[in-house]
Each structure stands twice: as structure tokens, then as C-alpha cells.
Chains A and B, each alone.
Chain A
């Protein structure tokens, strides 16, 4: 009897996790499902397809992306992405020439400003891409970063 109850609870928690991972931010302490296929994808398009179910990007000046023109150390590249519109649900950062381009996707409640600053790894010279998810659309900006020493290992 107890064992069956435990299994049912695990299933419920898993379903909750999937629902939360579908992009709906709920007040919950259950961890959302981590999008495995998006993070394993070998191209920007595949990563966005798995993450957002869409690949249509609007190059737009509503997205502000700051990245250094030259990075001495590809292991630590400072990136700042922000947006000039309201209704932003997420900001996603990708590195085009990394083996798996998806780096991080920040899901935001309405209380968050559309702003994300972080440090990421770049295997070699190429584009850093910021995607802003807002009002059912994907807006993007890209910056080319020249990498002197690659930072993904190997």
C-alpha cells in the first residue's frame, strides 16, 4: 500500500515538472523539467526548436546585446542581454560555434526586468546570440566575438 502511494507521488511530481517546464512560471517549489534535447542540440535552430517550438527569429533593435569584440580567454566571456519591450517571458543566450550552442535560458515572471548578465564559454571565434521571447515572438541580436584561446575544454 505504501509503495504504491510513493510511486503515484513520483509520477505526479514528474507531471508537475513537465507542466512547469512548458514555459509557465508558477509559484512552486517543484523543479521544472530541464529541456534535455534543447541543451543537446548541435545547432542554434535545433536548440530553439526544442526550447521554444519555433525558429523564426526577428533581428531587432529591441534586443540589446553587449559582448566583447575580442575575448582573450574563451572560458570566460562577459555577456549582457536586455530588451526594450514589455511582456518578455524569457531571454536565451546561445553561442553559435559551440558544440551545443544553447548556454542558458532565463525564464522571467512579469516582475523581472528583461535583463541578464552572465559569463559564458566560447570554443572559438563566432557569434553570441541573444533571443528575447516576448508576446509569442522571438527577437534576436548577435555579436561576433573573436576568441584568442578557446574555452570549452579539450
Chain B
């Protein structure tokens, strides 16, 4: 199955720009189904990690206030072109996904 994470890591000379778009509903648990009136249960990413091998570079602690299909942009130093980064997320239902992205020049 294709990853829910679409990453791009580009070296800008001095730092790497990491852009992520993640497919995830980020439901607040406050919305109601317009047809049935039933509350749509909360379903959102709680944690997102950016790792380089054993090193945890960044960890985002998130809630449903982040927009649907989260867009995240970060800047990372000391990462040469060709470095592999591991991106992973965990949501409130225990679902997870991860992917690897290589830094391009």
C-alpha cells in the first residue's frame, strides 16, 4: 500500500527544507454526519517523528486542531545531500505509517 506521507527534502545550501503532506482526516470528534446526525469520532495524528537513523531530529505532538491532510514544513541543518530521513506518524487509534525520504540537492 502506498504511504500516506508525501515527503520532499531539498538542500538549500545551509539547511534542508523538509516538506510533508500527510493523508489523514484529522477529525476533531465535534462534527456530525449530516445524514444520520451521528457524531463522527475523533481520528487524528498525535505524533509525528523525523529521524535520521538513530537520531530523533524532531517530534511533533499534535491534536485535531491541525488541518485535515496535515502540511508540515521544517528546516534541518547538517544533513548532506543523499541522507535518508525516516518520517513516521501515530494517531489516536493506534494506527501508524512511515516512509523514507532522501535529501536532494
Whether A75 sits at the interface, judged by CB under 8 Å, is yes
Q: Closest residue of chain A to B50, judged by CB?
A: A112
Q: How far is the CB of A24 from chain B (nearest CB, A)?
A: 10
Assess the A100–B58 pair: CB atoms within 8 A.
no
B55 to chain A, nearest CB (A): 5
A29 to B90 alpha-carbon distance, docked (Å): 12
Report which of B32, B63, B67, B74 forms a contact with A112, defined as CB distance below 8 A: B74
Q: Are B56 and A27 in contact (CB under 8 A)?
A: yes
B75 touches A115 (CB 8 A): yes
Main secondary structure on chain A at its contact with chain B? loop
Name B's interface SS.
strand
- Chain A nearest CB, measured from B15 CB (Å): 6
- Contact yes or no, A109 B56, CB < 8 A: yes
A121 and B28 in contact (CB under 8 A), knowing A25-B56, A34-B47, A113-B75? yes
**Are A119 and B65 in touch, CB under 8 angstroms?**
no
Residues of B within 8 A of A121 (CB): 28, 64-67
B70 to chain A: which residues have CB within 8 Å?
Answer: 118-119
B62-105, CB < 8 A from A: 62-68, 70-79, 90
Taking CB atoms and an 8 Å cut-off, the chain A residues in 109-154 that contact chain B are 109, 111-113, 115-121, 151-154
Query: A120 and B75: CB pair below 8 A?
Result: no
- Residues of A5-49 at the interface with B, using a CB-CB cut-off of 8 Å, are 25-29, 31-32, 34-35, 39
A25 to B57, CA, bound (A): 8
Say whether B56 contacts A104, CB under 8 Å. Answer: no
| A28 engages B56 (CB within 8 Å) | yes
- Which residues in B have their C-beta under 8 angstroms from that of A108? 57-58
Evaluate contact between B63 and A106: CB separation under 8 angstroms: no
| B77/A112 in contact, CB under 8 A | yes
Query: Which residue of B has the minimal Cβ distance to A98?
Result: B65
Are B28 and A32 in touch, CB under 8 angstroms? no
8 additional A-B pairs beyond A103-B63, A118-B73, A119-B70, beta carbons within 8 Å, are A39-B61, A104-B65, A108-B57, A111-B57, A112-B75, A121-B65, A121-B67, A153-B28
Which 9 residue pairs are nearest across A and B when measured between Cβ atoms?
A153-B31, A103-B65, A113-B75, A117-B73, A119-B67, A153-B30, A27-B54, A39-B63, A115-B75
